[in-house]
Amino acid sequence: ALAPQRGWVRAGLEQRLAAPAVVSAATARLFAAAAKPAKKGAQRTKQEKAKDKPPPRRRPLMTKPVDDVYLTWLYRRPFYDLEQAVGMLKKFQQLDFTHPKQFVYINVFLDMALKKKQLDPFSGAVVLPHRFTDEVNKVLVFTENEQEAEIARENGADIVGGLELIKWILEGEIQADFYVAVPAIIPKLIPLRNKLKRKFPSTRRNSLGSDIPKMVQLFRECHEYAVEDESVIKTRIARLDMPTEHIIANLKAVIHDICTFKPSTYDPIVQRLVIRSSTSEGLQVNLDGILPQVEKVEEKEEEEQEEKSADDEDEAEKPVQGPVST
């Protein structure tokens, strides 16, 4: 409306400005057109961008502090000899006025790698040279022979029986810490395999055999441990008020038993060892003198040993055939 008065509108344009705009129904757009989808890879997520960024440079950890007051996170965790570490745990207890008979624990970090696969998480049982608890495990013996059953009872078995026990175990009426069996009854115990799992009698776990007194004595007094989180064993080994040499002997017995689950031709299964008490911090221990000394075998013997271990695993999953009567 103001354009004609300013004198800059061209001839004929005034009429076009004055005419009302006419919009056809065909060209009316009630909604905006949908945006074209972005090409694949055009937009990157924040996570992908974060991955491309170089990680922040961390200051290298120092090895040894120069005085008694320092920030622990600036220094590498020190390693101690086993005897020194046990002595420090005893000293911590005195300084902190904690219970003198508290348990001593170890955390064992494992290397489960083999050539073509990884070791499956396992559990073990070992008789410690120095008992630190009065607890006795409950042992159940499977046998259908009355003479063998009597021997098992005389040697301290808590429950002895044959096929009649299967129903009660499946229903949860009977439970035991360890299950022992003679070879003749193993084919009939297949229904219990999924129920018992790792506790199912097996020669690999020394719970399947003919020497009933030896098996019952082993599992009544043994100390059991198991792999947690795929590659860590956390277990107690002694009480802090025991003599240092007894604590060390128990620790070495557990470590040596753990090392039997991996062939000696590979790198040691134990990679790192931490010892602590119930109320103390963990102390890293030097492995020198703790791991069993083994000699490297020839390549052929190595393959035979690996095949043997594989056969043992297969045997644990398959029922043992009893004697065939003719």
pLDDT tens-digit readout, 189-238:
999 999 999 899 998 888 999 999 999 999 999 999 999 988 999 999 99
Distance CA 80, CA 300 (A): 38
Mean pLDDT over each residue of the chain, to the nearest integer: 82
Which pLDDT score is estimated for 324?
41
The answer to whether residue 87 scores a pLDDT higher than 60 is yes
Sheet holding 123-126, edge to edge: 79-80, 283-285, 270-277, 103-110, 232-239, 223-228, 123-126
The answer to whether residue 322 scores a pLDDT higher than 50 is no
Longest dimension (CA), the chain: 128
Distance CA 61, CA 63 (A): 7
Residue 37 pLDDT class (50, 70, 90 cuts): low
Which pLDDT score is estimated for 298?
45
Q: Decide: 264 and 297 in contact? Cβ < 8 Å.
A: yes
Q: Which of 88, 105, 92 is nearest to 276 (CA)?
A: 105
What does the radius of gyration of the chain's CA atoms come to, in whole angstroms? 36
Which pLDDT score is estimated for 25?
53
Backbone angles phi, psi at 46, to 5 degrees: -65, -35
Q: Where are the alpha helices (DSSP H) in the chain?
A: 3-6, 13-18, 46-52, 82-96, 146-154, 164-170, 193-196, 212-221, 244-259, 299-317
For residues 29-45, give the mean pLDDT: 57
How large a percentage of the chain has pLDDT more than 90? 57
- Residue extents of the structural domains in the chain: 90-285
The answer to whether residue 24 scores a pLDDT higher than 70 is no
List, in sequence order, every residue forming a beta bridge with 223; answer none if it has no partner: 126
Which pLDDT score is estimated for 323?
43
DSSP-derived letter for residue 118 is B
The answer to whether residue 5 scores a pLDDT higher than 60 is no
Q: Which of 309, 232, 234, 229 is nearest to 270 (CA)?
A: 232
Look up residue 105 and give its two tokens.
Answer: 């624990």
Which pLDDT score is estimated for 94?
94
A 10 A CB-CB count for 223 gives 21
- Tens digits of residue pLDDT in 55-79: 777 777 777 777 878 787 788 888 9
Structural fold of domain 90-285? Rossmann fold (3.40.50)
Distance CA 302, CA 31 (A): 75
Of the chain, the end-to-end C-alpha distance in Å amounts to 121
Q: Which of 107, 109, 132 is nearest to 281 (CA)?
A: 107
How large a percentage of the chain has pLDDT more than 70? 73
Q: What residue type is 118 in one-letter code?
A: Q
Residue with tokens 């101690």: 80
Asked which of 53-62, 135-144, 169-178, 232-241 is least confident by mean pLDDT, the reply is: 53-62
